[in-house]
Amino acid sequence: MYQATSVIELRQYVQHWKDHGQSIAFIPTMGNLHAGHMSLIEKGQSLSDRTICSIFVNPMQFGPNEDWDHYPRSLEADLAQLEAIGCDLVYLPTASELYPDGLDKISQVQVTDLTEHYEGAHRPGHFTGVATVVLKLFNIVRPDVSVFGKKDYQQYRVISKMVEDFNLEVQIIGQETTRDDSGLATSSRNQYLDAAQKKTAAGIYRQLQQTAASIDQGERDFNTLEQDAINNLGAAGFNTDYFKICNAETLLPATSEDRDLVILVTAALGQTRLLDNIEISLW
Ligand code: PAF
pLDDT tens for each residue of 260-270: 999 999 999 99
Question: Domain extents for the chain?
Answer: 2-175, 188-278
Give me the catalytic one of 20, 37, 122, 126.
Answer: 37
Q: Which atom of ligand 1 is nearest to the CA of 56?
A: 10
CA distance 64 to 213: 40
pLDDT tens, position by position, 164-207: 999 999 999 999 999 999 999 999 889 999 999 999 999 999 99
Q: Please compute the mean of the pLDDT values over residues 66-75 and round it to a whole number.
A: 90
- Protein residue whose Cα sits closest to atom 8 of ligand 1: 29
Q: Please compute the mean of the pLDDT values over residues 63-75 and round it to a whole number.
A: 90
- Protein residue whose Cα sits closest to atom 2 of ligand 1: 29
Question: Up-side HSE of residue 222: CA atoms within 13 Å toward CB?
Answer: 16
What pLDDT does residue 65 have? 86
What pLDDT does residue 9 have? 98
CATH class assigned to 188-278: alpha beta
Q: Which atom of ligand 1 is nearest to the CA of 149?
A: 1
Question: Up-side HSE of residue 161: CA atoms within 13 Å toward CB?
Answer: 21
CB of 132 closer than 6 angstroms to any ligand 1 atom:
no
Which CATH superfamily, name and number, covers 2-175?
A: HUPs (3.40.50.620)
Strand partners, 279: 262
**Average pLDDT across the chain, whole number:** 97
pLDDT tens, position by position, 125-176: 999 999 999 999 999 999 999 999 999 999 999 999 999 999 999 999 999 9
Establish whether 117 is a catalytic residue: no
**Interacting residues of 145 by C-beta distance below 8 A, sequence separation 6+:** 23, 24, 25, 26, 44, 47, 48, 170, 171, 172, 173
pLDDT above 90: residue 70: no
168, 114, 144: which is closest to 51 by C-alpha? Answer: 144
Cβ–Cβ < 8 Å for 97, 6: yes
Ligand 1 mutation pick, 134, 156, 188, max ligand atoms within 8 A of CB: 134
Cβ–Cβ < 8 Å for 262, 153: yes
pLDDT above 90: residue 67: no
